[in-house]
Structures are given as C-alpha cells and as structure tokens.
Amino acid sequence: MMNVFLVDDEIAIRENLRNSFPWDEKGYQLVGEAPDGEMALQMIRDLNPEILLTDIRMPFMDGLALCREVRRIMPWISIIILSGYDDFSYAKEAISLGVQEYLLKPVTAQELERALGKIRDKRLEEQRLREHMADLRGRVVSGNAFVKDKLLASLFTEEGERYEDELLLAQMRELGVNLTAGYYSVIDIAFDGASEMRINTRAALNALAEHSGGTVYVCGSPKGARALVLGDNEQDVEERAYSFAASAIRLPELSGHELLLLCIGRPVNDFYAVRQSMKSARHLRHLVMAETHSPRRIIGEGEVESRTKPVSERDLSPIYERLQYANAEQVEPILMEYASALEPSLAQGYLRIAALISAQKIVQDAGGVPETVLGREIMEDVLHCEMETGFEHMLDIIRRAIVYRDNAGYGYRESPVDQGRAYLSTHFTDPNLMLSDVSDAVHMSQSHFSTVFAQETGITFTQYLTGLRMGKAKELLEATELRSSQIALESGYNDAHYFSYLFKKNTGMTPSEWRKAKKACK
C-alpha cells in the first residue's frame, strides 16, 4: 500500500479525487490532503507519503514552490503535478524539479491510475534492485560503491590528519562525489539483527540516501550505519538531517529491529570537524542506550532528558491546554475569555465541569491525587455552589492545582515541546498559524521540532493542532448557538467546507449532528 498526499485549493476537485478514485482497491492510501502548499508542507513532514499529488496554482504557497521545498528536504518523495493550465513553462520547471508526472485537469480515474502506476512500478523496480544488490553483498555489483563506502567510513575513525581528509575529498571527487558544503552533520544509526537483516537495512538506507540529490551519504559501521548530511547553513543541514531520519525510521527494512536509534550529531561548518559531529552523535547513542525505558528513536542534542506525557488527539481540550501552561495570575483572564465566548445561559454549567476536569488533570499530571490535593468539599462546591460564587470557586480550584504543580516541580515551558504546546494553546485559533511559527518560537528548525514533538507527545504536530481546533469546535457547539461557519472561523478555519469535512473525519458526525447528539444527552 503506497501513501499519497493530495494538495489542491479547490475543495470540489479534492472531493472528486478523494471519492471517485478506488484508492484501497488499487493499492494506494490517501493519507492526507490540504488546500494550499504552506499547510501541506507541515503535514507532509508528519505523514511522510511516498507520492505527492499537487495542483500548481494555489494561494500562499503554489505547487511549484511546494515541490522545490519538498525536493530540498525530502527528495525521495515522488511528485505528480495537476494543472488546469496547458503551459509549457510550467511543465518545463516541473521537469527541472524532478516531477515524475504532469497531468492536465480535469483528471480522469484512468489517467490518475496510469500516473500512479508508473511511479509505483519504478519504485518497486528500485526496491527489487536494492534487494538483489543486498543478496550479492553490494561488492560484486559495483566496485565504486564499495570504495565509496570504505572511504566514507574512514572519515568516522577516532582521529584523522587534515591531509588525510583532503586526500579523501579528492578521491571522492574522482568517484563523482562532491562532499564540499557549508555545514555537515552526522547521524549515528544503531540497529541489531542477524547479518542478512543488517545488510538489507544498510542497502535500504543507501537507497534512501541516493534519492537525496547528493545531500546525504551512508556507509556501514560496526553498530549499524552512519550518514553524512550536507547543508548550505546550520538550519538547512538540521532540516535535512531530521527529514532523512524521519523517513529512514519508517523504512520497512528497519521495522523488524528491536534496537533502532538514530542519533543526530552537532552541526559543524568545516569538513575537517566532521569527526566532532560523529563523536557527539555517538555520545548520544551511548546515553540513550543506557536508558532502556526510552521509547524515542530519533535523538538530537538537548533531547535526552526531556519527557512529555503522551497525549491523545481525540482527548485534547483547549481549555485544559490553556490552563495547564498558565500561572496563577493568568487563570482569571483565561476563564473570563471563555465565559465571554459562551452563551450566558450555558457558560456557568459548562465552565464548572471544564474547570473541575482541568484541575484534576493538572494534579494527576504532576503525580498527585485530586481528592487529596484539592479537597472533596471544594470539588463538590465547584459543581453545586450558588451562581454568584461559582466563578470564584472555579478560580480557586484551578489555582490550587497550579500551585501544587509548581511545588511538585512540574512547571512547564521547560522543554521545546512544552514551550511549543504552550505557544499552540494561545495561537491555535489563528487560521494562518504554521509549523514554522511554532518552531521559530522555540528556536528549532521545522523538521527538528516536528520530529521531537511527535516522539514526545505520541501524535504528530498536525494531529495535535487539529485536535485542539476540533476540541474548540466541540466546546462552541455544545455551549453556544453559533452557526457552523462561525464556529469554523472561531476554531481556526477560513474554509467552512474544509472544517466540516475534518470534523466529520475526526468525530464521525457533522457539526450539526454533534450538537444534536449533545443536546439529546442533557
């Protein structure tokens, strides 16, 4: 089953392609879609599809700009262009970007199947060749490949003289490999398994690197493999390193390894300092392997100690997310903001329950027992006190929970992921919010933040953002009489049709069906 991602700003075209093509029957899975290139890029980082199907003319970031960015950070993704413009200049630029297929709208199911089939056949042929090379142990197939591997491996020795590295650069150039770049980073890839399994894994990693356009090179190592990543600047090399690691970890050949660590070394701006990056990557591997409980598999500097409790996309409550990152002084403005947004007749009852649940979760996440920390009587008062004193009781119980959290040493805004979640808790309703906004706020590259976020929370950045927005929509559907189009805007969506599609995809019901079901339960 090959994963396909669809990008087109016209919802009618997306719906037609989504519903009219027999994806599962033909061996494909439509894993996601977006209405513009900017939104698509952050989702592509999360979903890592094999094939990108994109329109050319779109707002914010058009299809060709999207293709250029995908080619830069994830060049192994195959691309099919959709266009309503029979313009040779578009086709010419698309070809220069390595686009495999170019289809004119309206696209028929037969044309789409033919284009997808060509890409699938090519990828399957590459996989068969890779397996064949692995069977022959790689050496018989290509002497040059064997020499490149050995030369690159010599770069990762403990020590080396400058003249030896200069000689290595010259020898690699003779073999058609230019290792000159502005920045470098080493990925130490550790995996276990039998000899044949390890050979197949190295072959798969080599194949992925071959699709990088000369930005990633892989060689074997005693513990698994190592990758040398080349970039124009520090952020560029970090983007490429984390994108390669995120794609590598999903290779079928790596799925069977019980031990699998991809440790990303410190970026360096001198080829003769590559060993320093290698040493920092290896140091990370030793640290993480000593932590047998660690579930994360892609590790960079500064990430070994951080831990975030896994979250569920469907359980995300925006009011809890706001409150769990708040300090005691911020509680009242947050509750006042919610109270003013809800219908007066519904606000008190809804907020009381939301405040009580949030206080309990804050205490539980800090390792405490809600009844002990908050007091059973106070918890009862929140639900049953007089209307006039209800707001004060809500403030009191949330503040008690936050004081306990801070005293227990579970204060937030410490790790980049916690900082990112805190940023999202106050900005998620902005329809123009992008992954780049959040990664900039925590001073990380987009691929780095996206990878760390998914590993620490258990869900992708896109799933988390969607979960917050769907949670907000549920709150408004339950506690207001706002129309669906207005709720879409309040939740962070400019396109009401797209909002309705996502809501039904996430809940199994339309917004109106959800509201009706909630009213029936009361």
pLDDT in tens, 42-55: 899 888 899 999 98
- The answer to whether residue 118 scores a pLDDT higher than 50 is yes
Exposure string over 244-269, b if 16+ CB within 10 A, otherwise e = bbbbbbeeebbeebeebbbbbbbbbe
pLDDT of residue 181: 94
pLDDT of residue 461: 92
Number of domains in the chain: 4
Could you tell me the pLDDT band of residue 393, with boundaries at 50, 70 and 90? confident
Higher pLDDT pick, 74 / 147: 74
- Do 138 and 203 contact (CB within 8 A), yes or no? yes
At which of 407, 437, 470 does a domain end? Answer: 407
Tokens of 16: 């037609």
SS3 102: strand
Residue 18: is it exposed, middle or buried by C-beta count within 10 angstroms (0-12/13-18/19+)? middle
- The answer to whether residue 343 scores a pLDDT higher than 90 is no
Q: How far apart are CA 215 and CA 181, in angstroms?
A: 9
- pLDDT tens, position by position, 8-63: 988 888 888 988 899 999 999 999 998 888 889 989 988 889 999 998 888 777 88
SS3 192: coil
Amino acid present at 433: L
Diameter of the chain by CA atoms? 83
Could you tell me the pLDDT band of residue 503, with boundaries at 50, 70 and 90? very high
Kindly write down the DSSP assignment for every residue of 284-307, as one continuous string: HHHHHHH-TT----EEETT-SS--
Q: Give the CATH number of the domain where residue 455 resides.
A: 1.10.10.60
Mark whether 6 and 120 lie in a shared domain.
yes
- The answer to whether residue 192 scores a pLDDT higher than 90 is no
Residue 393, CA atoms < 13 Å, CB-side half-sphere = 23
Assess if residue 306 is contained within a domain. Answer: no
- The answer to whether residue 147 scores a pLDDT higher than 70 is yes
Mark whether 89 and 171 lie in a shared domain.
no
pLDDT of residue 437: 92
Which phi and psi (to 5°) does residue 358 adopt?
A: -65, -45
Helix (H) or strand (E) holding 28: strand 28-34
Closest CA to 125 of 202, 206, 207: 207
Mark whether 86 and 232 lie in a shared domain.
no
Q: Give the CATH number of the domain where residue 189 resides.
A: 3.30.70.270
Q: How far apart are CA 310 and CA 469, in angstroms?
A: 18
- The answer to whether residue 149 scores a pLDDT higher than 70 is yes
Mark whether 391 and 420 lie in a shared domain.
no
Mark whether 128 and 147 lie in a shared domain.
no
Higher pLDDT pick, 295 / 116: 116
Assess if residue 493 is contained within a domain. Answer: yes
- Do 94 and 64 contact (CB within 8 A), yes or no? yes
- The answer to whether residue 6 scores a pLDDT higher than 90 is yes
Closest CA to 431 of 492, 503, 497: 492
The whole-number average pLDDT for the span 288-297 is 67
Closest CA to 442 of 302, 281, 318, 348: 302
- Do 359 and 369 contact (CB within 8 A), yes or no? no
At which of 265, 300, 335 does a domain end? Answer: 300
Higher pLDDT pick, 332 / 133: 332
Assess if residue 100 is contained within a domain. Answer: yes
pLDDT of residue 458: 87
Assess if residue 397 is contained within a domain. Answer: yes
- Quick count: other Cβ atoms within 10 Å of Cβ 413? 14
- The answer to whether residue 520 scores a pLDDT higher than 60 is yes
Assess if residue 246 is contained within a domain. Answer: yes
Mark whether 155 and 278 lie in a shared domain.
yes
Mark whether 107 and 150 lie in a shared domain.
no
Amino acid present at 374: L
The whole-number average pLDDT for the span 387-402 is 82
- The answer to whether residue 412 scores a pLDDT higher than 90 is no
At which of 372, 407, 442 does a domain end? Answer: 407
Q: How far apart are CA 84 and CA 355, in angstroms?
A: 51
| Cβ neighbours of residue 170 closer than 8 Å, sequence gap 6 or more | none
Closest CA to 246 of 402, 453, 3, 478: 453
pLDDT of residue 292: 56
Assess if residue 124 is contained within a domain. Answer: yes
- Do 450 and 462 contact (CB within 8 A), yes or no? no
pLDDT of residue 112: 93
Residue 290: is it exposed, middle or buried by C-beta count within 10 angstroms (0-12/13-18/19+)? exposed
- The answer to whether residue 464 scores a pLDDT higher than 90 is yes
The whole-number average pLDDT for the span 399-404 is 90
Mark whether 50 and 84 lie in a shared domain.
yes
Mark whether 217 and 330 lie in a shared domain.
no
Mark whether 284 and 157 lie in a shared domain.
yes
Rg of the chain on CA atoms, in Å: 26
The whole-number average pLDDT for the span 359-383 is 85
Could you tell me the pLDDT band of residue 411, with boundaries at 50, 70 and 90? low
Spell out the SS3 assignment of 324-335. HCCCHHHHHHHH
| Average pLDDT of the chain, as a whole number | 85
Quote the pTM value: 0.79
Percent of the chain with pLDDT strictly greater than 90: 32
Mark whether 273 and 292 lie in a shared domain.
yes
Q: Give the CATH number of the domain where residue 32 resides.
A: 3.40.50.2300
Assess if residue 16 is contained within a domain. Answer: yes
Assess if residue 401 is contained within a domain. Answer: yes
Mark whether 54 and 98 lie in a shared domain.
yes
Q: How far apart are CA 13 and CA 7, in angstroms?
A: 10
- The answer to whether residue 388 scores a pLDDT higher than 70 is no
Please report how the helices 63-73 and 37-47 are oriented relative to each other, as an axis angle in degrees rounded to 10: 30
pLDDT of residue 382: 76
- pLDDT tens, position by position, 193-241: 777 788 888 888 988 998 888 999 999 888 899 999 999 999 999 999 9
pLDDT of residue 131: 64
- pLDDT tens, position by position, 471-497: 999 989 988 889 999 999 999 998 888
Q: How far apart are CA 511 and CA 483, in angstroms?
A: 9
Is the peptide bond prior to 431 cis by the omega test (within 30 degrees of 0)? no
pLDDT of residue 130: 63
Q: How far apart are CA 116 and CA 101, in angstroms?
A: 9
Helix (H) or strand (E) holding 465: helix 461-479
pLDDT of residue 140: 43
- The answer to whether residue 137 scores a pLDDT higher than 50 is no
Q: How far apart are CA 487 and CA 489, in angstroms?
A: 5
Could you tell me the pLDDT band of residue 291, with boundaries at 50, 70 and 90? low
Parent domain of 396: 326-407
Is the peptide bond prior to 106 cis by the omega test (within 30 degrees of 0)? yes
Q: What number of H helices and E strands is found in the chain? A: 23, 10
